[in-house]
Amino acid sequence: MKRFLASILSILLLCGLSSCSTQADSKEYFGFDKADFTVVEESDTHGGFLGDGSYFLILDCAANKEQASEDLEGWKPLPLSENLNLILYGGERDGVNYSYDLAEQAGFPKIENGYYYFEDRQDGSLDKSDDSQLFDRGSFNFSVALYDSDTDRMYYLSFDT
């Protein structure tokens, strides 16, 4: 009887885990599903005890523009906010030089025409779409995606420190 219960429990656990991974992969990138587009580049440096690192993904959406247009629902039109521009491309504000080059490291170009989506994943964040507190913390935990309307490419970055 114990073996039977252990077997049933194992099957239920496996079914639960497999359904979770399927859901996580579907529309995981702010509405975009990798399976609908061509992956141009992908890299993940997360690891270690705390899971710090970055994940980036570049999708070519040219062959499925209709799907990409649907997936952009809820995204904001460019230009980026000042904080997002500083964290992705660097620059200067109020005499302070922000030397972040996250976009360069991930291979993201400077995009003029398109859309963006930001998610603040920091513990205690009250508004996940607000980047105004981005530089007021000792660590970064956010995801941002850019869609280039000129090239039909989506650029996604998840950054954790």
Q: What percent of the chain has pLDDT over 90?
A: 70
Asked if residue 18 has pLDDT above 90, the reply is: no
SS3 label, residue 64:
helix
In a domain, 25, yes or no: no
Q: In total, how many domains does the chain have?
A: 1
**CA geometry: angle at 124 spanning 118 and 127, to 5°?**
40
Instruction: Assess whether pLDDT exceeds 70 at residue 134.
Output: yes
Does residue 14 lie within any of the structural domains?
no
pLDDT for 152 beyond 90: yes
Domain annotation covers residue 31: no
Residue appearing with tokens 């998840």: 158
Q: Please give the model's pTM, rounded to 2 decimal places.
A: 0.81
Strands of the sheet with 38-44, listed across from one edge: 38-44, 53-60, 153-160, 141-148, 114-120, 76-77
**Residue 54 domain flag:** yes
Average pLDDT over residues 131-140: 91
Q: What is the pLDDT of residues 40-88, one digit of tens each?
A: 999 999 987 778 999 999 999 999 999 999 999 999 999 999 999 999 9
What is the pLDDT at residue 27? 63
Whether 22 maps to a domain, the answer reads no
Q: Is residue 11 part of a domain?
A: no
Q: What was the pLDDT predicted at 100?
A: 87
* Confidence label for 19 from pLDDT (cuts 50, 70 and 90): very low
Q: In whole numbers, what is the pLDDT of the chain averaged over residues?
A: 85
Task: Give the range of the structural domain holding residue 152, as residue numbers without chain letter.
Answer: 37-160
In a domain, 24, yes or no: no
In a domain, 125, yes or no: yes
Lowest mean pLDDT among 17-21, 45-49, 134-138, 145-149: 17-21
